Structure 1
Amino acid sequence: MAFDATRVCNNILQRAFDEDVPVTPMKLQKILYFVASEYAKDTEKPLLSEPFQQWQYGPVVASVYSEFKPFGSGSIRRYAKDSQGKAYVVNESKNPRLREALDRVWPVVKDRGAVPLSRITHLPESAWRKAFDANERYIDEDDIRLDETYRPKLGLD
């Protein structure tokens, strides 16, 4: 089951707000990418119902960009909301694979800045790099699942 990207971001932000960890929109995008890749490795399925795009500073989900664009390079101070102004998270107790991916990624990224995380997504042979080199707008789901380039840099190997 693929999830709404902004809901998964709210799960990430819930951890950030609980621990008083600042997260900028760019940092959120990179964390979301790493979580999506880890989830896909565990399940053989894409995490999100929307694709990652290949942007200059790394993988980006357009709806997440639109939702948090008002924060610019500053810290996000609220959850993503739906058209009725309600914020939702994915129920992690009903989705243990998502919880496991979040629990694996969050501790190793929370204290890193957006730019260093962006550099990690740009490594040779990364899913982002493959899309960039092929001048593709979207990052291939299989490449995201198979991307191992970030794991040593984050200490996940």
Structure 2
Amino acid sequence: MAYDVRAIANVVLDRAEHLGISVTNLSINKILYFAHGHFLAHFNKPLLREKAEAWEFGPVYREIYRQFSSFEKKSINARAKKLDVSSGKMVEFSIALPPNELKFIAPVIDFYIRIPAWKLVELSHEPDGPWDRIWNHLSPSNPGMIIPDDLVAEYFRQHESPGGSSSA
């Protein structure tokens, strides 16, 4: 089962807080993209229900960009929220990942969370990677172009897990 990107964003933000690391809107989008890619390659199913879009500075989840746009380039110090229809109040997204999925995804997040945002952008722009294949095609590029999961899965299956010798 794929999860709402905002719930997984809160997992990333919880990990960042636990590790004492700042996360910006730019970096959380890349961390989510890399976590999704490794998860997709390992479990052969998507981590995230929403699709990454090819934007100028790499993969972006529109829902995350909007949720945290008020922070601009500053560190995010809130959690993604949703409307609870029964109470009419905004509540934080929460999720209880199955233990095997959390055991896999936590070190992936921890690996990428330590990488500066500019380096995450650089990693996401790797030649012939999913973002590059969508962004740098023959027709004009524009934000909003979906990066298909099949491209993401293919790419991440060809690269080692985080911490290995590969750049992905």
TM-score by shorter chain over 0.5: yes
Q: Is the 8 A contact 1:41 1:146 kept in 2?
A: yes
Output the CA distance in 1 between the equivalents of 2:28 and 2:126: 19
> Which segments of 5 or more consecutive residues in structure 1 lack a partner in the other structure?
none
Q: CA RMSD in A?
A: 2.2
Once the two structures are TM-superposed, the CA of residue 118 in structure 1 deviates from its matched residue by: 0.4
Question: Which structure is higher in helix share?
Answer: 1
Once the two structures are TM-superposed, the CA of residue 13 in structure 1 deviates from its matched residue by: 0.5
Q: What is the match of residue 13 of structure 1? A: 13
Q: What is the match of residue 30 of structure 2? A: 30
Q: What is the match of residue 92 of structure 2? A: 87
Mark the structure with the bigger radius of gyration. 2
Q: What is the match of residue 96 of structure 1? A: 100
The question of 1:66 aligning with 2:71 is answered no
> Which segments of 5 or more consecutive residues in structure 2 lack a partner in the other structure?
84-88
Output the CA distance in 1 between the equivalents of 2:121 and 2:35: 14
Q: What is the match of residue 151 of structure 2? A: 143
Q: What is the match of residue 128 of structure 1? A: 131
Q: Which runs of 4+ in 1 moved over 4 A?
A: 149-154
Question: Which structure is higher in strand share?
Answer: 2
Q: What is the match of residue 86 of structure 2? A: none
In structure 2, the CA distance between the partners of 1:30 and 1:149, relative to structure 1 (3 Å rule), is farther
State the identity as a percent: 25
The Cα offsets for residues 13-68 of structure 1, whole Å up to 9 and x where unpaired, read as 11111222100010000000010001101221122111110000000011010000
Once the two structures are TM-superposed, the CA of residue 109 in structure 1 deviates from its matched residue by: 1.9
Output the CA distance in 2 between the equivalents of 1:63 and 1:13: 15
Instruction: Give the TM-score normalised by structure 2.
Output: 0.83
